[in-house]
Structure 1
Amino acid sequence: MFKKIPFRRIRWPGWVVLAAIGLSFLYGMTQLVEAIRFEPESNSGSPLTIDFKTDNENTDTYTMSIKIPVMENQHIKKPIQGWINDEKKAFLQEVKENKSQFGSGSRAHLVIQADSRKSAGDTIHILLHSYQLVDDVRGEEHVKTFTINTAEKKIVTLPDIMETSEEAVNMIQKRLPEHPGDKVQKAFQNPASWNWTLNNEALTLYFNGIDEAGPTEVQIPIHVILPYLKEKAAGALKVAGTSVEPGEKYVALTFDDGPDPDVTPRILKVLKDHDVHATFFMLGSQAEKYPDIAKEVAEAGHEIGNHSDHHKDLTKVRKEEMTQEVLASSRKIMSTTGQLPTVLRPPYGAINNEVEALAHDNGSTLILWSVDSLDWKNKNVNAIHSTVQKEMAPGAIILLHDVHSTTADALPGLLTMLEKEGYEFLTVSQLQSKLAVETASPFYGNMKKG
């Protein structure tokens, strides 16, 4: 979401002073720097040159400051200039309809900013941000993006580089904040008209008209969007440590706080029935208390991780106690399961430099999560299913707990639901290997609850 421009809350005639200062600054910068030149590399012909100029207009009833991309290629220039003209036309029409408000120092304002951003391969983005204020209550903001293939010198839409199937659209829509359904459905009608930017870290989408406060921004990490990208677009991205091919849908199930004598065996049976291997982040104290259950987990072929000895927040204890919590747990897990854990999930997902250093010194990778099932909070089968489905995406690590009976109740339906959606299950280390991540730093984490 774009932050509101502070002067939105300034009432007349404060606008006049602020607008004068802003326009003077823009004019001075325009004189100082005649144009900002952006010359993306092209593998054929001359580079596509994009300059920017700022047009200012002051009248008794309004001010306009518009930064305009300037280029020779008319095929690209025409739709960009067309959008700017439409914004100006709508603004001037609204000024006309509200002309009785203006005069004696009261004016309407239109500001359009333009920016260029490098994307993948031979593409760049032109991002236009329009802000217009015609009364002293609130302004209107709009975002428009144009993605340009500089080699072929043409505008690219999202469906040109990404599958916009129902599954992909639903995945994106689930990441929106709650809004009235009719506004969301209208905004999602035509993926070819969506406003977006793409880089090696994320796909960012900008939706106008959903929220009255301004454009709604949705940012999707690159590892989530990669399976939906078309081969050429995926190949152009330099995604650090990624070897998952487009279309592959791998996820990891993880279980914390066990083993538990009642719940863990039930979970093991469901996993066996579905031929799924998971990662169990055990507490050393629990493994010591229920050694037969811990051993059963390991013998079933599941990965064993370290979740500390007594589930203490490692960032809130002395270094000596933090070290003891991790090493004692590791010894107890090794003694009962025969596996030396090489993945560590700190309780509550709480980390700091000392926790990272401890993991590194002991050859462990810190593992957090990207989907919190909230089974620890809701303890309701339908709620668990709904929460996971809403947050689900390829490459996810799902947080569950093998100490709640409702988690065992929910697991059969959860696995069936994800299997129907085409997901395959890996252990955390297998997923880490699949994504070619070699680091002791946190792997896929949202600091929620663990």
Structure 2
Amino acid sequence: MRVIKRIKWAGWVALILFSAVTLGAIYHLVSPEIEASSGTNQITEKEEKRQDFSEDASLNVRTETKETNTYTMSISMPTLKSKSLDTPIKEWIEQQKSVFIEEVERNNAVLSADNLAYLTIDLKVETAGELYSLLFTSYQYVGKGQPTQVFKTFTVNMRTGESVQLHDIIHLNDQTSGTIRTLIKDQLMGREEWKDYVREDVLNEKLSDLDDLKWSVNKQALDIFFDQYEVAAGSVGGIEMKIPLEALRSYLNPTLLNNAQLEHMTSIEKSQLDPNGKYIALTFDDGPSPKVTPRILQTLKQHGAKATFFMLGKQVETYPQIAAQVANDGHEIANHSYGHPKLTKMTSQEMIKEMSEANTKIEMATGIEPVLFRPPYGAYNSDVVHYAKMNDYSMILWSVDSLDWKSRNSAAINDIVTNNVTNGSIVLMHDIHASTAEALPELLVKLKAEGYQFVTVSELLMLQNENGAGPHFGHVS
């Protein structure tokens, strides 16, 4: 006798729903393993903040990240209105990705969760007048051997949308070309970490046509890049060097640079300061602050005083209008890092990221790319000095510490500064403490009565015939 009973319609519905839920649960439990074994890729994308460079052109940057069980990718991808640049950039990125994937497939047997391949393409944007240079740095590791570093540069006139070559900004006659070749060779052969590894015959060949160089331009320098292994042993890594625009001044195309660069280079030279005068550089760290910085700006304006503001990138990001007001009032803008870490505790890459991020935020808010920086806490070592040299920064410390951060007392601030200042001093203060804003009016009156004038750090360094990376401290009493 059969005991199987006929199931009614409602029962079938319940059975089907139960089976679907059960199968779904089983699928979700095993699907990660199925994905891992089949190499399914997880792709995520995020849009970064849009940067508008002019009324006619903009740069939209997004970062594409991709993770699998054998490799990771992180690629910064710009989209330009300039099709003459947008297309070759996309083609180069796709070529980098294609070569990387081929190598990953070839080395699949040695790749694992403990030995992941990676491709990282970073983007840095530099400006000079109407020119915008895009520097891509590709870091690649394919599971064996050493990671490699490759550069690619593109420069565009953002007003016209046209791609720009080196001969467009520099008159490349025989004399100019010879000067640039000499400057490049002197740097490569003069640096301790490079000179014994450079293959001079290969370098000479690379320099035969300067238009083939990888380069970018900013307000201070023409930057030259060589890939890892391109002109030196692989242990050197990628090579980045800077040629100050001052060294190329007579060869530059002022029309293309819209004269902005030449004016920047000569602005300090035109200063009519009496070399026999008494000068002090007032400096303010850690701002801008919405409550304190405007008060300090008002006091400085009332006394006709100029100062140098060492800004934090995160503060500028939060209060860009105040940062812009500091610049509009004619004060000097300088870099104090993004988040105020001790640079001596960071790796070189961490330090570069920290300072570059601050520079980007400051330039976006003020339109000024800083050439001075002050390491947080005044802490520096050989790595920090090397960073300053490589990036054409002047590292600024101080000779008089107002201790406003400690006393938070206006009378104490005035006593310390007036008792320790001398001609040529660099005075450390902070535009984040209300007591500093309270102390400043009386301090300026006292110092002016003693014959002091208030200048920017750059003006003071020029008067003292000091240049280069430093560190620069100013004079003590």
The interval holding the TM-score normalised by the smaller chain is 0.3 to 0.5
The normalised TM-score by structure 1 is 0.46
The normalised TM-score by structure 2 is 0.43
Q: Relative contact order: is structure 1 or structure 2 higher (C-alpha 8 Å, sep ≥ 6)?
A: 1
Larger Rg: 2
